[in-house]
């Protein structure tokens, strides 16, 4: 939020959001965050990591996945429904990772 890249209209909106947060007794952080999401969504857009950082993140994730065992899910959650939900979530995340990894790898050629 405290970026020098804000243009004048964005600065006015940001100041209004923070002023309301400070001055209104009933204002909550969630209210301010919602205002930022709706009125200044470009501030929340993530910037891509630098290539060396991305390489480090991928290497770290690879090492984590290399040693991960499904038994860790079974051992950490007692209820079968929760275990199934976690396994489905992990499978979905891995499928997404495979897809995006392939897309990025193909674009390097």
- With 0-12 / 13-18 / 19 or more C-beta atoms within 10 angstroms meaning exposed / middle / buried, residue 12 is exposed
Same domain, 61 and 102: yes
Q: Which domain holds residue 16?
A: 8-43
For 51-95, the pLDDT digits (tens) are 999 999 999 999 999 999 999 999 998 899 999 999 999 999 999
Q: What is the pLDDT, as a whole number, of residue 21?
A: 85
Helices 8-23 and 29-39: crossing angle in degrees, nearest 10, is: 160
Q: Residue 80 falls within a domain, yes or no? A: yes
Name the pLDDT band for 1 (thresholds 50, 70, 90): very low
65 in the same domain as 29: no
Q: Is residue 1 part of a domain?
A: no
pLDDT of residue 66: 96
Percent of the chain with pLDDT over 70: 96
* Number of domains comprising the chain: 2
Residues 64 and 99 in one domain: yes
pTM: 0.60
Q: Does residue 2 belong to any structural domain of this protein?
A: no
Same domain (yes/no): 35, 80: no
């Amino acid at each position: 939020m405290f970026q020098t890249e804000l243009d004048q209209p964005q600065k006015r909106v940001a100041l209004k959001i923070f002023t309301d947060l400070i001055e209104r007794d009933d204002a909550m952080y969630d209210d301010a965050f919602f205002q930022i999401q709706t009125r200044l969504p470009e501030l929340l857009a993530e910037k891509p990591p630098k290539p060396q950082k991305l390489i480090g993140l991928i290497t770290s994730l690879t090492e984590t996945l290399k040693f991960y065992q499904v038994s860790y899910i079974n051992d950490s959650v007692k209820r079968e429904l929760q275990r199934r939900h976690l396994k489905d979530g992990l499978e979905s995340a891995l499928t997404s990772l495979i897809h995006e990894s392939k897309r990025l790898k193909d674009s390097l050629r």
